Amino acid sequence: MAAELCIIRENQVKGNPKKLRPGRANCARTAQSKQEKESLMCGIVGFVGARENAAEILQAMMDRIAHRGPDGQGQFLEGPVALGQRRLSIIDLEGGRQPMYNEDGSLVVVFNGEIYNFQTLREELQAAGHTFATRSDTEVLLHGYEQWGKAMLDKLRGMFTFAIWDRHAQTLFCARDHFGIKPLYYYQNDAGELLFGSEIKSFLDHPGFKKELNEDQLSLYLSYQFSPGEDTFFRGVKKLLPAHWMEWKDGALTVQRYWTPRFTPDDGPTLQEWEQAISDAMQESVAAHKIADVEVGSFLSSGVDSSYMAALAHVDKTFTVGFANKQYDETDYAREFSAHIGVKNTAYRITPEEYWENLGRIQYHMDEPLADAASVALYFVNREAAKQVKVCLSGEGADEFFGGYNIYKEPFTVSWYDRLPLWLRRALGAAAGLLPPVPGVNFLVRRGRPLAERYIGNTNLMGERRKKQLLKNYTGRVLPTDLSRPYFEATRGQDPVTQMETCDLNLWMVGDILLKADKMSMANSLELRVPFLDREVFELACRIPTKCKVNAQQTKIAMRGAAEMTIPPKTADKKKLGFPVPVRAWLREEKYAAILREAFGSEAAQKFFNTGALNKMLDEHVSGKRDNWRQLWCVFIFLVWYDEYFVKR
């Protein structure tokens, strides 16, 4: 777990650049000694509901997620409650072992994550009369809950999920961090038993869990390429959403949001002042995230986020994956940049054979289908990093905080078209929607509707017309815009980029970016830390005006300027590529197209899809007539996932 940072929150007074910057003058300590606390990432599981063989059930649930914590485990069983934790040690001290109790044993906690400001909170709690038996941040959660109750969550800075059982009140309290870096799922059956855990798969080992497919989620998935919102593909299983807590008492479950991220642009400071403020904030955050009693590495692609991260952190090693096809390979760049900053780079080229062979394993670890082709590459970079280090830094969150996606340029391009009457744009868009999807046609379809009607996130794979053609049981009960609409309503009157960022922060980042980051790192028993996704960084980023984030030519304007203080301009200004993966090209080879044909002929495919339409799309792609690879891949990955959870198990 990372150290406390002495950070002065930036003043809200407009136009005072000196008040923008995190203070350092009075920081007597930016990192505590490694002897002061234990650091661990892990998985937690548990249930409320008396069972004669509760210990055996709990152990089976813990064993199911042993990959999250191969270094140890802990259990608490008493009356109706069972709590379990699997442990991945970063600093191995006895004082931080879990489950952990407060002084009188009335509270017990299992915890996954890091609380960066635990030192400050510890001192505050000691001043209030609390006695600590350890130097761990886990114990801060116990005493913080005693002192402040649910209000403790407003004080925490970190990434976390935890469960606290109050033995006197017979109450279970769980919470998830502000941005959803760490996952938590829950399920309540008809008998009133409550199950919770870091991964859904742990529920498979509880006799009170009824495994059923939630087919309503399939239609949403075909648009989003991930499972959005609080519902999951398992009927009755829900995600505890970011910045939410839940409380169980007497069989009743209450779920509530405790914090909401809001962008509040401040036009006072200059671009240069924002750049300096970002530089200061990121140096502080990266320092916090690097504290560990083990080597710390960093993922490195050719983009500015990971390059900036690696350079700021002075990591021990960088890790990169690529492909034999140069068009999809970033290993040469990573090797060159690592040499520039004086760090050893480990590069691994993924073969097509191992990419395809590991799809089932990867979807099993995801818990729910994720059709982001880059997630497979992420599995391999985590696998290679885990052979050498236990901790890696990664750049998740930079795009949502600082305006990094290319689609954010759209409000500044062909702006004259948006000044046409809406009725005319709607008519042109409706007509274009009847044509084959190509770039010009896609533009007319997209811009034929207001932003709130067309934007559901960074990816929008399929519209309702396409889904009606493909799905045998299309109902349209829940539309993608039903999930995105609340974020547009909450940002009504703000500029389009701010609205898109808010939508992405709540849907895309949680459902795709952070899902694959957590699941692929934990699948390989690797702790992943994300310094951009820090409350103090967001306190700054949320006030940067759009003009300092995006224009028609560039994204992440202020952040790139901050990065140029540390890395070469050619790297800081590099165009965003995402994580290039050659699936499009592979699917034009019969060898790989045949894998999809076989899947589309399966019993599962015939149950859910009009397979004739799928095969037609595949034929169009193979021939080069259409570029359908993303839609095809989305369907195929669902079938791979379904096979793992509903055919094999």
- Does the active-site annotation cover 174? no
Residue 498: enclosing H or E segment and its boundaries? Answer: helix 496-506
Residue among 6, 42, 174, 542 flagged as catalytic? 42
Tokens standing for 458?
């960074």
- The residue among 72, 110, 75, 76 whose CA lies nearest residue 92 is 72
> What SS3 class is residue 348?
strand
Q: Work out the widest C-alpha separation in the chain, in whole angstroms.
A: 73
- Please give the single-letter amino acid code of residue 196: F
Q: How far is CA 257 from CA 154, 267, 592, 606, in A?
A: 11, 30, 45, 40
Residues 6+ apart with CB under 8 A from 541: 278, 401, 402
DSSP-assigned beta bridge partners for residue 423:
none
- The residue among 406, 363, 321, 397 whose CA lies nearest residue 579 is 321
Place of tokens 């955050």: 285
> What SS3 class is residue 195?
strand
Answer for the pair 576, 303: CB distance below 8 angstroms, yes or no. yes
Strands (E), 294-423: 296-299, 317-323, 344-350, 391-393
Answer for the pair 90, 391: CB distance below 8 angstroms, yes or no. yes
C-alpha 334/C-alpha 299 separation (Å) is 10
The CA-based dihedral angle spanning residues 143, 146, 152, 155, taken in that order and rounded to the nearest 10 degrees: -40
Q: How far is CA 461 from CA 47, 237, 452, 638, in A?
A: 37, 25, 16, 14
Tokens standing for 153?
């969550």
> What SS3 class is residue 55?
helix
Residues 6+ apart with CB under 8 A from 260: 243, 490
3-state helix, strand, coil in the chain (%, to 5): 45, 15, 40
Residues 6+ apart with CB under 8 A from 243: 176, 177, 178, 179, 180, 257, 258, 259, 260, 261
**What are the catalytic residues?**
42
